[in-house]
Amino acid sequence: MSSATTRSAEFEQLALPLLASLYNHAHWLTRNPAEAEDLVQETFTKALRAFDSFQSDTNFKAWIFRILRNTFLTTRAGIAAARTVFLEDHPDTLDTTASGPTPEEILLRLDNDATLHTALEQLQPQLREALLLCDVEEIKYKDIAVILDVPIGTVMSRISRARRTLRQLLQPQLGESL
């Protein structure tokens, strides 16, 4: 076996278990199955090409998600997304005047996935992206910061803001809790 073959076998071994995650995330980014597949395909092509520069002591998942994201940003949809103005990341424009939550706010009825899907779709893309990397992909803040190319404090505030926004979006649809 040539070393290139070994290397690509190693790449396959690392990438195959992430295929479903990458596709899911690509679909959230592109909002379209055909574009999601193309994005993952392009990501695999670029990632293998760059795989020689991958350090085996770094986080492969974060590395390949970063490639996925950078690839997305070069697509038409990605360029459009990057152009949208985003009120970031410092001034707190959400309503935080209420001192504490009321009991009704506390226990959200989250047994209905469709409700949450709708709310996730309504989130600003930058917030949704950070939240999905954290909650679905279980990637640590420091690695999300690498993927998104932002400071770790921005990751923290985006995730926090995403959750508050989700909560507000879910609020009108709340049933009685417990």
Q: Provide the b/e sequence for 166-178 (b: ≥16 CB within 10 Å).
A: beebbeeeeeeee
| 88 makes contact with another protein (CB under 8 A) | no
Distance CA 167, CA 116 (A): 10
Query: Which part of the chain contacts another protein (CB under 8 A), choosing from 52-60, 62-70, 79-87, 148-156?
Result: 148-156
Alpha carbon separation from 154 to 20, 145, 162 (Å, rounded) = 27, 8, 12
User: Distance between CA atoms of 53 and 51, rounded to whole angstroms?
Assistant: 5
Q: Which amino acid is at 177?
A: S
Q: Which stretch binds another protein (CB under 8 A): 41-49, 52-60, 62-70, 80-88?
A: 41-49
Given the rule CB under 8 A, which residues bind another protein? 4-5, 8, 11-12, 15-17, 19-21, 23-24, 27-28, 32-42, 44-45, 48-49, 75-76, 96, 100-101, 103, 105-108, 110-111, 113, 116-117, 120, 131-132, 134-136, 138, 140-141, 152-153, 156-157, 159-161, 163-164, 166-167, 177-178
